Structure 1
Amino acid sequence: MGERRAQPGSDHASGLTYYRLSAPSDSYPPLQGARECAVCVIGAGFAGLGTAMSLAERGERDVVVLEAEEVGHGASGRNGGFVFGGFSLGERALQRSAGPAARQLYGDTLAAVGLIRERIRRHEIACEARESGVILANWFDDDRILLDQQRFMAEHMGVHWQHLGREELAERLHTRRYKGGLFEPGAFHFHPLKYAQGLARTLARSGVAIHEHSRVTTLRRQEGGWLVTTARGTVFARELVVCCGGYLASLHRRLRAAILPIATYVMSTEPLGERLASSIRTGAAVYDTRFAFDYYRALPDTRLLWGGRISILHRSPRAVAKLLYGDMIKVYPQLKGVKVEHAWSGLMSYARHKMPQVGRLPDGLWYGMGFGGHGVAPTTLAGELLSEALLGDARRLRGYARWGLPWTGGPAGLAAAQASYWYYGLRDMLRR
């Protein structure tokens, strides 16, 4: 059979994600008219939905969630679907930044993984959760990288990642690119959009109001609360929480100045059938030891979902498919000719310090953002921290105040972020 180039089909050309096309089409009415509530949450991604869920689980259901597009529209419904511990800030850097508190902070994210697992079970959320762990594959020919990381995680973070020798990893991943790996057995992966939709359905059943296509145009502090305005309605809320991430845009100047909206790219192949086993013989999700790493996993219908690269540049679905197809073939040349059926990008919000930004501004506005490229567990954690604080207990939230809202530098900051990405990418190339 002749080689087929990566070609976009009609779905791919439209930029629709595999997740959006494979998830049920729930819908919630736009906000109309005036209403009041105890808490208004802006943003129906993992952080916003997680905050509403944590409030509802603590008995506060007088909550309104406003979403400019659809539930899970942003990074929450576009990511790789990895559910594991940690922050965008690496564990060693976390220890340097937080000192003795680092172990507890990392433990907070592990508890969030457990909470996600429990919510899936309790609410019967059909999100293709696969309890197969995650593999960190070594891109470099240096066994010390893995052994040092395994030792560090055990000694300082209290977790044991299983070492996979080169031959053992090769039985699971048929490629010459990797030189062994570390297996994280407590991790899993899932369909992120179906999970977000499942949270929304659960919230709606509990009495929380969700409004899609309700872009907030103004926020105004008033006596006793906040007036939130959309095109067709208003909400007066005693408390207001902003969880918009990379899609914050111009909604709030102070918060916008503290994040960098960075794009990442994802694609999914056609179903591979038996051909999948020529490359991948594991149910685990995989990422590698480079700064700008590949991340991928096999889907239930034998497609391969592949993501990678970070950039400030907008790229078309066709360009994303071309880039990621090339990355995939570098690792698995035996998949040459496989068709890319869907390709998309999404905006993540990064802080300069690479830690989540959760807290409260002097005027009383609460916020949760800055989850970077490692956000599934930390967004869930943010929901717990914010709900506790909203209900009067801000002790754990204060543990994250040390990182704050440093200015990211505007356009110059974006240019610096792109230059940093290129620098570290070049360093990885020279290291290999």
Structure 2
Amino acid sequence: MIPQENLQHTFYQATATSEHYPSLQEQVDCEVCIIGGGYAGLATAMGLLERGIKNIVLLEAEQIGHGASGRNGGFVFGGFSLDNAELIKQIGREPARHLYQLTLDAVALIRQRIRQYDMDCDINESGVVLANWFDDAKKLQQQREFMLREFEVDWTPWSREQTRAALHSERYFDALHEKNAFHFHPLKYAQALARVLNSQAVRVFEQSRVSAIETIAAEKLVRTANGTVKVKHVVVCCGGYIESLYPQLARSVLPIATYVMATEKLGDKLATAMQTTAAVYDTRFAFDYYRPLADSRLLWGGRISIQEKPAATVAQMLYKDMLKVYPQLAGTKIEYAWSGLMSYAQHKMPQIGCLPNGVWYAMGFGGHGVAPTTMAGELVAQAIANQQALPHGLDQYGLPPSFGKLGLMAAQCAYWYYELRDWLRE
């Protein structure tokens, strides 16, 4: 059972410093107005600030990190939701290599900012492990060779013996260890970014839901319930919570839910399951992803759906998933459970660009967004500050319609199909 007091809070909310910024109550002028206080919006503001643009307003409808940015698994590594081999097939080898490298650069930039600004976000440099759910070592070996050949990324192979020495589960066979990756407290990182921005005179507003973006005049107007922003550049970074804010953008993304829980403090019991402090995910389509926390809890996520679910339901589902991997953790109490919405594009790639009316957008990061959101912030900041064009290949991934409820049902059917395929492989 989950203690009643934790039903409305994520583990991240319970362990991060509660900070508040004012709501917009007046008319202000600025050079850039960013809508959305998640990673994409915060990274765009950081990218602009570091390029000398300080006249920035950031508007968040709820609190900083309210959406996927403050609820995710905390994995920080390269790549996109789209499979890397498919990326090469769609846009060609060199553009694909360049885009993938931009995500690795983003990982390095996140690490640099954490150090430069002394951000307290529980960073763990143990890397990320891809554990093979299937007894097929050749498949994982081919993946390692592909990444080394095509992207010059060397993931360290783990034998079955090494894997089971680190992860005490018969569900896994071999694994790949991505040493350059890390994991952290995502909400603390989002809040730290906001603190840096606020300290550098960027005006951050919470509880300031945008009701309209007017682009008829040369200077755009962004309206909230109690204020207005007159601005030269508007950047929309709203992800799975865009709702009806800007229909041209909203109809191109699908809000997809995923689920996360955190156990009680396990103490020495954690070592009966894991002998590594790396984060872990597996090779199925709808994979588990989990990581040990500094206070000996286990944070566990998984499943994909078109619906958010109550905390108690999430806890029951993920507890069963955890015991499939680590039956030795039976009886463990689940103290936090939550769900959240990610924004997926039909093509599974980020949507970064500028509409004909001059409104910029960065969204559609799916379930692989920490590094790509930072990449997006850099690209939009470079475009606004330095008039630098977006990289070749990214323009292929525009704003195809998601077809609303029909698209959601199609996505759910696709997820069921891939889950069935994984089950048959077992």
Report TM bin, short chain: over 0.9
1:220 corresponds in structure 2 to 214
1:69 corresponds in structure 2 to 62
2:158 corresponds in structure 1 to 164
| Equivalent residue runs for 1:187-266 within 5 Å | 187-266=181-260
| Equivalent residue runs for 1:387-402 within 5 Å | 387-397=381-391, 399-402=393-396
Structure 1 contact 270–339 (Cα < 8 Å) conserved: yes
Letter in 1 for 2:17: P
Instruction: Please report how far the alpha carbon of residue 397 of structure 1 lies from its aligned counterpart in structure 2 after TM superposition.
Output: 4.4
Structure 1 contact 41–66 (Cα < 8 Å) conserved: yes
Letter in 2 for 1:47: A
Secondary structure of residue in 1 paired with 2:320:
helix
Residues in 2 aligned to 1:11 and 1:18: alpha-carbon distance in whole angstroms: 12
Deviations 1:116-155 (A, max 9, x none): 0000000000000010000000000111111000000000
Structure 1 contact 263–346 (Cα < 8 Å) conserved: yes
2:107 corresponds in structure 1 to 113
2:320 corresponds in structure 1 to 326
Deviations 1:215-244 (A, max 9, x none): 001111142221111111110111100000
1:3 corresponds in structure 2 to none
Letter in 2 for 1:114: A
1:283 corresponds in structure 2 to 277
Unaligned segments of structure 2, at least 5 residues: none
Instruction: Please report how far the alpha carbon of residue 398 of structure 1 lies from its aligned counterpart in structure 2 after TM superposition.
Output: 5.1
Structure 2 contact 308–340 (Cα < 8 Å) conserved: no
Residues in 1 aligned to 2:138 and 2:54: alpha-carbon distance in whole angstroms: 51
2:179 corresponds in structure 1 to 185
2:333 corresponds in structure 1 to 339
Deviations 1:244-272 (A, max 9, x none): 00000000111011000000000000000
Structure 2 contact 279–291 (Cα < 8 Å) conserved: yes
Secondary structure of residue in 1 paired with 2:395:
coil
Letter in 1 for 2:231: A
**Count of aligned residue pairs for this structure pair:** 425
Moved more, 384-393 or 320-329: 384-393
Instruction: Please report how far the alpha carbon of residue 401 of structure 1 lies from its aligned counterpart in structure 2 after TM superposition.
Output: 1.1
Which of these residues, 26, 45, 52, is aligned with residue 33 of structure 1? 26
Secondary structure of residue in 2 paired with 1:413:
helix
Residues in 1 aligned to 2:314 and 2:128: alpha-carbon distance in whole angstroms: 24
Structure 1 residue 307 corresponds to structure 2 residue 315 = no
Secondary structure of residue in 1 paired with 2:321:
helix
Residues in 2 aligned to 1:29 and 1:172: alpha-carbon distance in whole angstroms: 47
Taking only the aligned residue pairs, the percentage that are identical comes to: 56
Structure 1 residue 19 corresponds to structure 2 residue 28 = no
Secondary structure of residue in 2 paired with 1:235:
strand
Secondary structure of residue in 2 paired with 1:422:
helix
Secondary structure of residue in 2 paired with 1:11:
helix
Deviations 1:177-227 (A, max 9, x none): 001100000000000000000000000001100000000011111422211
Letter in 2 for 1:238: K
Residues in 2 aligned to 1:158 and 1:97: alpha-carbon distance in whole angstroms: 19
TM-score after normalising by structure 2 = 0.99
1:94 corresponds in structure 2 to 87
Residues in 2 aligned to 1:363 and 1:397: alpha-carbon distance in whole angstroms: 21
Secondary structure of residue in 2 paired with 1:308:
strand
1:123 corresponds in structure 2 to 117
Residues in 2 aligned to 1:165 and 1:97: alpha-carbon distance in whole angstroms: 33
1:4 corresponds in structure 2 to none
Structure 2 contact 308–341 (Cα < 8 Å) conserved: no
Instruction: Provide the aligned C-alpha RMSD in A.
Output: 0.8
Change (3 A) 1:364 1:398: farther
1:141 corresponds in structure 2 to 135
Structure 1 residue 43 corresponds to structure 2 residue 43 = no
Residues in 1 aligned to 2:391 and 2:235: alpha-carbon distance in whole angstroms: 14
Structure 1 residue 54 corresponds to structure 2 residue 42 = no
Letter in 2 for 1:84: F
Structure 1 segments, 4+ long, off by >6 Å, are none
Residues in 2 aligned to 1:12 and 1:197: alpha-carbon distance in whole angstroms: 21
